């Protein structure tokens, strides 16, 4: 089986006849009751970022958050299937170990299970990913069942579901009322029974995430949820400090914005003073 690797000295892809030994969907699902380490998951949208994150992660998510992070869109709603396929394929090419999951964009799966299958099968065929992720609980249970029965592994997503931001009225934490808490638990159980191999729990009251995790036989992946979840996920650029605003549920583990700004400033200074390029960066006539 052939794949691609990135030659970091040239930033070009080159095919290599090397077998891919990735984590599998059953292996991730089995982490629930194996007593193993929590699942480490981050987003990735490009081949180079995938290459950098791959050795540290169990799962790389090609999230529809690329709409905001990569394209500067106001939300995830305008993200297209073409975008997800292009970035999903890049992440697969840039990784070897991690399980790759690709988000299904808004409008690609809600209409019917059949429409969802067409979109999901296209994502898997064009990217080489191992699974898709879709938002929604009980309302999407039939669709999840339809996909999983036809060989498409599904990671579910409950709690705060960004694609439903207009219906939810914003990005506030979910589960503050008893009724809402019960609905989150019901949604999580519904997607498990429908065949999802794991479920993301986003932006919910900590106690709810803890209780939901204890009540499921599939792994939960928390984001703004609980350390009791079976794994955690963050947008990599948030975690790396690319943006000035840091959501409450994010901890910065890097200073990416500051590093880029500093390097760009040093470059600009060197150009203006004509200190760049130096002799080491110039081409000359070879001498015999």
CA distances to 201, 258, 260, 277, 283 from 270, in Å:
47, 18, 15, 8, 19
**pLDDT at residue 20, as a whole number:** 56
Ligand-binding annotation for 64, yes or no, is yes
Q: Which has the higher per-residue pLDDT, 98 or 285?
A: 98
Ligand-binding annotation for 133, yes or no, is yes
154: part of which helix (H) or strand (E)? strand 154-159
Catalytic residue numbers? 202
**pLDDT at residue 174, as a whole number:** 73
Rounded mean pLDDT, 7-25: 63
- Helix residue ranges, H only, the chain: 25-30, 47-54, 66-69, 81-93, 113-127, 141-148, 165-168, 178-194, 206-215, 236-239, 256-272
Q: Is the pLDDT of residue 15 over 50?
A: no
Rounded CA separation 239/209 (Å): 21
Q: Which of 11-25, 138-152, 244-258 has the lowest mean pLDDT?
A: 11-25
- Predicted TM-score (pTM) of this structure: 0.90
Average pLDDT along the chain:
91
Q: Is the pLDDT of residue 204 over 60?
A: yes
Task: Report residue 173's pLDDT band, with 50, 70 and 90 as the boundaries.
Answer: confident
Ligand-binding annotation for 103, yes or no, is yes
Rounded mean pLDDT, 26-53: 94
First to last CA, the chain: 46
Of 124, 132, 127, 57, residue with least CA distance to 92: 127
Cis check for the bond before 277: say yes or no (omega within 30 of 0).
yes
Ligand-binding annotation for 55, yes or no, is no
Q: Is the pLDDT of residue 55 over 70?
A: yes
Tens digits of residue pLDDT in 75-115: 999 999 999 999 999 999 999 999 999 999 999 999 999 99
Task: Report residue 33's pLDDT band, with 50, 70 and 90 as the boundaries.
Answer: confident
- What domains can be seen in the chain, in order of their start residue? 3-239 (3.20.20.60)
99: part of which helix (H) or strand (E)? strand 99-103
**pLDDT at residue 19, as a whole number:** 58
Task: Report residue 18's pLDDT band, with 50, 70 and 90 as the boundaries.
Answer: low
Rounded CA separation 56/41 (Å): 9
Which residues have C-beta within 8 Å of that of residue 138, sequence separation ≥ 6? 186, 187, 190
Ligand-binding annotation for 180, yes or no, is no
**pLDDT at residue 11, as a whole number:** 52
Tens digits of residue pLDDT in 228-275: 999 999 999 999 999 988 888 999 999 999 999 999 999 999 999 999
Structure tokens given for 147: 């996909």
Place of tokens 């998510």: 61
* CA 249 to chain centroid: 16
Rounded mean pLDDT, 59-79: 96
Rounded CA separation 220/213 (Å): 6
**pLDDT at residue 17, as a whole number:** 46
Q: Is the pLDDT of residue 171 over 80?
A: no
Of 24, 31, 58, 62, residue with least CA distance to 230: 31
Which residues have C-beta within 8 Å of that of residue 277, sequence separation ≥ 6? none
């Amino acid at each position: 089986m052939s794949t691609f690797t990135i030659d970091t000295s040239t930033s070009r892809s080159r095919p290599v006849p090397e077998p891919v030994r990735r984590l599998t969907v059953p292996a991730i699902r089995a982490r629930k009751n194996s007593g193993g380490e929590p699942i480490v998951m981050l987003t990735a949208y490009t081949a180079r970022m995938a290459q950098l994150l791959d050795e540290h992660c169990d799962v790389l998510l090609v999230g529809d958050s690329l709409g905001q992070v990569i394209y500067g869109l106001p939300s995830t709603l305008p993200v297209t299937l073409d975008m997800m396929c292009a970035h999903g394929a890049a992440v697969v090419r840039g990784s070897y170990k991690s399980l790759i999951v690709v988000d299904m964009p808004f409008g690609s799966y809600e209409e019917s299970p059949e429409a969802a299958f067409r979109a999901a099968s296209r994502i898997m065929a064009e990217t080489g990913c191992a699974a898709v992720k879709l938002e929604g609980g009980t309302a999407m249970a039939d669709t999840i069942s339809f996909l999983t029965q036809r060989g498409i592994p599904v990671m579910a997503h409950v709690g705060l579901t960004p694609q439903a931001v207009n219906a939810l009225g914003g990005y506030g934490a979910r589960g503050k009322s008893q009724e809402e808490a019960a609905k989150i638990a019901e949604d999580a159980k519904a997607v498990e029974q429908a065949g999802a191999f794991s479920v993301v729990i986003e932006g919910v009251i900590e106690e709810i995430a803890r209780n939901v995790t204890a009540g499921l036989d599939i792994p939960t992946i928390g984001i703004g949820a609980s350390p009791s979840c079976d794994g955690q996920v963050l947008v990599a650029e948030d975690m790396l400090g690319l943006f000035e605003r840091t959501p409450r549920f994010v901890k910065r583990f890097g200073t990416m914005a500051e590093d880029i700004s500093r390097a760009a400033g040093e470059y600009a200074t060197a150009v203006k003073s004509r200190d760049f390029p130096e002799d080491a960066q110039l081409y000359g006539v070879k001498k015999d």
